[in-house]
Amino acid sequence: MKTIFRTIRETIVTPWGVWLALLGMILLSALLGGILVFWKGLVITNLTDLVPWGLWITIDLSAIALSAGAFSMCAAVYLFGLKRYEPIARTATFIGFTGYSMAMMALLLDIGRPDRFWKSFVFWNTHSLLWEVTMCVGLYFTVLLLEVMPILASFEWLRKKFPRLAGKMEHLHHYAPVLAIFGLALSSLHQSSLGAVYGVIKARPIWYRPEMSVLFMFTAILGGIALTLLASMLAARLTSKAKVNDVLIERVAQFLGYLMIAYLYWRFWDWLSQTYTYEPGRTEGFELLTKGTLSFNFWAGEMLVGALLPTILLLYRPARQSPLWRMLAFAMIVGGVVAFRFDTNIVGFLAVIPYTPGEMIVNYTTYTPALVEWVTGIGIIAFGLLAFSVGVKYLRIVDHRITREEHGVVTVQAGEVVRNT
């Protein structure tokens, strides 16, 4: 009896076991929540005719944005020849694949007829930006699937049991540059058109502006790379299965800092242009962001902590060189991107623009996600964490020592230190 308890304690009550148990419990309750949604319908959410898109859409938009590290890093490595960042591209690809799976889960919950999801691939309205997004996401998910194959091939069990299959999967890596071209094209198309989904809606003036697509693209690249680096560094701190090259990460971090400057520049002019003249709906929406219910999200989440602070941290060398501050900066960028997506979606709905003639009285509505939206939403995030954890443990997705002969070796310049090797 004693030995059984000891075995249990030693095999299950490990940090890994506790982590899995925690994620498992969250996933289980999310599964129950999901079943409830499919059974009872969307009436159990807090979505209304006035706010038809809420928390799930935010998770969908954020998951897609934070997956953008995949195409950015793959393009950098396989198209722009920055070969030494290949190990980061490997991590980013896996995160991208996970993120798109998460986005699809959120969508499946959110659409009124999940049983008809396949119709979005069969019936085409080529004029719709959502059609374009659907097509690009579908195709890009296929690209990610092919890109992730060589990573899945590094699963020990698969290598031993099915060496030929693993070899075939591994071989797909030869097509990495071609896949990167497709990935870049499809991603940049739908990342920006996801912004345009909002940007073309004339009925809601706070959305109706051409910057939307550019801002969505910007935030996707920023958030995607930041999440990839944050996850890599965090994994390397928590487990010996993950090995990072700190110098490599710091280089990308600096690039990210410059990119943040460009982002802030865009946001500034975008912000300023919206403060001029009264436009029903837009002005009220903008006031919700700057003074109203969304002001904390906007000023703290999007601007101060989400953009300004990480920019300073990433461009100020001592802060950037400190792994802790650097990780914090990445986390802030990720949070800022999520806040941006949440605010952008919700602000267009909260200020209700009247269609009645005469007085222009803008009404306000509210939206607080229902418990079932939270439980399932957090479950989707838990799925992402689980996939990443398993990837780190069994697929070496964070291992900056991995080099591939056919693509040359990681060149380490004089003075660079490869950590943890």
Spatial separation of the C-alpha atoms in residues 359 and 356, rounded to whole Å = 8
In the bound state with another protein, the residue whose beta carbon lies nearer, of 111 and 158, is 111
Please report whether residue 348 would count as binding another protein according to CB under 8 A: yes
State which of positions 75-114 bind another protein (CB under 8 A). 110-113
The contact pattern for another protein, residues 169-198, with x = CB under 8 A and - = no contact, is ----------------------------x-
- Note whether 103 and 190 are within 8 A (CB): no
Where do the H-state alpha helices sit in 68-155?
A: 69-74, 86-110, 119-122, 129-152
User: With b meaning 16 or more CB within 10 Å and e meaning fewer, what string describes 164-192?
Assistant: eebeebbebbeebeebbebbbbbbbbbbb
Spatial separation of the C-alpha atoms in residues 138 and 218, rounded to whole Å = 22
Q: From the CB of residue 357, how many other CB atoms can be counted at a distance below 10 Å?
A: 6
Q: Total residues at the site for another protein (CB under 8 A)?
A: 42
Please report whether residue 349 would count as binding another protein according to CB under 8 A: yes
**CA 336, 219, 67, 203: dihedral to nearest 10 degrees?**
100
**Site for another protein (CB under 8 A): which residue of 3, 240, 275, 356?**
356
What radius of gyration, in Å, describes the C-alpha atoms of the chain?
22
In the bound state with another protein, the residue whose beta carbon lies nearer, of 359 and 405, is 359
Q: How far is the CB of 367 from another protein (least distance, A)?
A: 13
The rounded Cα 131 to chain-centroid distance in angstroms is: 21
Spatial separation of the C-alpha atoms in residues 203 and 251, rounded to whole Å = 44
Which range, of 9-17, 119-127, 217-225, 267-275, touches another protein by CB under 8 A? 119-127
Nearest to 52 by CA among 188, 192, 203, 213: 203
**Site for another protein (CB under 8 A): which residue of 43, 272, 414, 417?**
43
Please report whether residue 204 would count as binding another protein according to CB under 8 A: yes
Spatial separation of the C-alpha atoms in residues 152 and 391, rounded to whole Å = 9
Please report whether residue 119 would count as binding another protein according to CB under 8 A: yes
**Site for another protein (CB under 8 A): which residue of 20, 201, 238, 412?**
201
Please report whether residue 128 would count as binding another protein according to CB under 8 A: yes
**Amino acid at site 141:** F
Q: How far is the CB of 46 from another protein (least distance, A)?
A: 11
State which of positions 245-304 bind another protein (CB under 8 A). none
Please report whether residue 39 would count as binding another protein according to CB under 8 A: no
Please report whether residue 28 would count as binding another protein according to CB under 8 A: no
Site residues, another protein (CB under 8 A): 40-43, 47, 49-50, 52-53, 110-113, 116-117, 119-120, 123-125, 127-131, 133-134, 197, 200-204, 348-349, 352-353, 355-359
